[in-house]
Amino acid sequence: MKLFYADHFVLPLPPGHRFPMEKYARLRERLAASGHFGANDFHVPAAASDTEILRAHDAGYLQRIVRGTLDAHEARRIGFPWSEAMVERSRRSAGATLAACRAALDSGCAANLAGGTHHAFRDRGEGFCVFNDAAIAALTLRAEGRVERIAIIDCDVHQGNGTAAILAKRPDCFTFSIHGARNYPFEKETSDLDVELPDGTGDVGYLDALDEALIPVFASQPRLVIYLAGADPFEDDRLGRLKLTKAGLAARDELVLSECRRRNLPVAIAMAGGYARQIDDTVSIHAATIETARRVFTSASTSPENPPLPPPATPRTPRELAKQQHRAPTETEPGASAPGPFSRSGGAAGRKCRALPVCASARRLGANVCPPPPRAPRRPRPPAPPMQRTARAPARAGKIVHVRDRRAAAGRKAAP
């Protein structure tokens, strides 16, 4: 698995600056020390060229960045003092996501050990974001004809407002953001799919909402996913408000990545935000994302360099564990008369177990099925009319605030 990292990512900042810049170098060190990645796995990305950047940004904005002629308001909105190193860092970070996309198309999965600068708009930067790496990568790959459609799965706690705005008129780029409703930006843009979650949502509510939201994301029929695996939904993050545990974040990664793997969908990962009180927590969360990707994307490989990994001896993702903790006993278990929030009466047929091996509850039922799911079985939803906001049933923990169906706008048939 290729990991893209450049020393340029660590931008020298004035003392006391609140951005945890050192996390990038520490992440690289952590992964190098893990024993799972060799020197050959780390690659220095090329800087994004003007041509590539201009696919997502205005020429005037690029010029102001390169020449250092941003006005005070523009510079303050970005949050980093201008320097040539800042320009180079921004180019390298965008170049790393583009390189990770190319590598993912070749080998299944790759990662930028920085990136996820999703608050950068076409004509401005904000929130520590100068160039929008995901938009630059997506538009460059489209311009080169390397992929037909791309989905951006943005799990940073902040909405991917810049990405949504830049790609608003691109039916070939599906933008999905799941974020804290009360987190910055306070005026949200409209992605193809936004899921806003209330403060303190926690693991189970988050994963349930994400699980449901991935249905329309994959229905957009992407051929490449760019996954922003922000560490800032973490419970001890200084900025995030969603209160996920590390186990919950690992389960989030497992869900997104295994669903992509199951569909043979290449994934390029960018780290995005992370502002935990202890920087080591942020580094651990990012490292866990990369470890999960390595495991998920090598476990089914048959190549000699990547022999298949054995399935975990004990089950399952923390998500399933969390659900089991909240699940009522089945009819075959003691205490079946005390339903919990995830119980469903009626004994409907179970669904095929998505965990390998099947979960303990399924084994207790003596079949390759999980207990009845906590909500009605998935079914494809009909496409919305072009550019129409569609009211949807609220998800269990959050609510899907709007869906703008650009596939219909483009006259394409909705995927099943």
Interface contacts to Zn ion, rule CB under 5 A: 156, 158, 230, 232, 273
Rounded Cα distance, 249 and 271, in Å: 13
Instruction: For residue 274, give the nearest of 100, 180, 158 by alpha carbon.
Output: 158
Instruction: For residue 357, give the nearest of 297, 313, 320, 301 by alpha carbon.
Output: 313
For tokens 């929008």, name the residue: 132
Of 141 and 272, which CB lies nearer to Zn ion in the complex structure?
A: 272
Quote the DSSP letter at residue 407: H
Distance in Å, CB of 415 to Zn ion, minimum:
29
Distance in Å, CB of 129 to Zn ion, minimum:
9
Of 276 and 359, which CB lies nearer to Zn ion in the complex structure?
A: 276
* Residue 36 burial class via C-beta count within 10 angstroms: exposed 0-12, middle 13-18, buried 19 and up: middle
SS3 196: strand
Distance in Å, CB of 74 to Zn ion, minimum:
20
C-beta nearest to Zn ion: residue: 273
Of 230 and 383, which CB lies nearer to Zn ion in the complex structure?
A: 230
Distance in Å, CB of 274 to Zn ion, minimum:
8
Distance in Å, CB of 156 to Zn ion, minimum:
4
Instruction: Report whether 147 contacts 170 (CB < 8 A).
Output: no
Of 178 and 355, which CB lies nearer to Zn ion in the complex structure?
A: 178
Q: How many CB atoms lie within 10 A of CB 221?
A: 17
Distance in Å, CB of 278 to Zn ion, minimum:
17
Of 194 and 232, which CB lies nearer to Zn ion in the complex structure?
A: 232
Q: How many residues does the chain have?
A: 416
| 99 phi, psi to nearest 5 deg | -65, -40
Instruction: Report whether 316 contacts 355 (CB < 8 A).
Output: yes
Of 273 and 315, which CB lies nearer to Zn ion in the complex structure?
A: 273
Distance in Å, CB of 59 to Zn ion, minimum:
28
SS3 375: coil
Round to the nearest angstrom and report the end-to-end CA distance of the chain: 31
Distance in Å, CB of 167 to Zn ion, minimum:
18
Of 52 and 126, which CB lies nearer to Zn ion in the complex structure?
A: 126
Of 274 and 374, which CB lies nearer to Zn ion in the complex structure?
A: 274
Strand 399-403 and strand 109-112: the pairing is unpaired
Distance in Å, CB of 158 to Zn ion, minimum:
4
Rounded Cα distance, 297 and 286, in Å: 17
Of 218 and 275, which CB lies nearer to Zn ion in the complex structure?
A: 275
| 100 phi, psi to nearest 5 deg | -65, -35
Rounded Cα distance, 247 and 253, in Å: 10
CB proximity list for 91: less than 8 A, separation 6 or greater:
47, 48, 53, 131
Rounded Cα distance, 371 and 381, in Å: 24
Q: What is the CA radius of gyration of the chain?
A: 21
Of 253 and 320, which CB lies nearer to Zn ion in the complex structure?
A: 253
Distance in Å, CB of 240 to Zn ion, minimum:
7
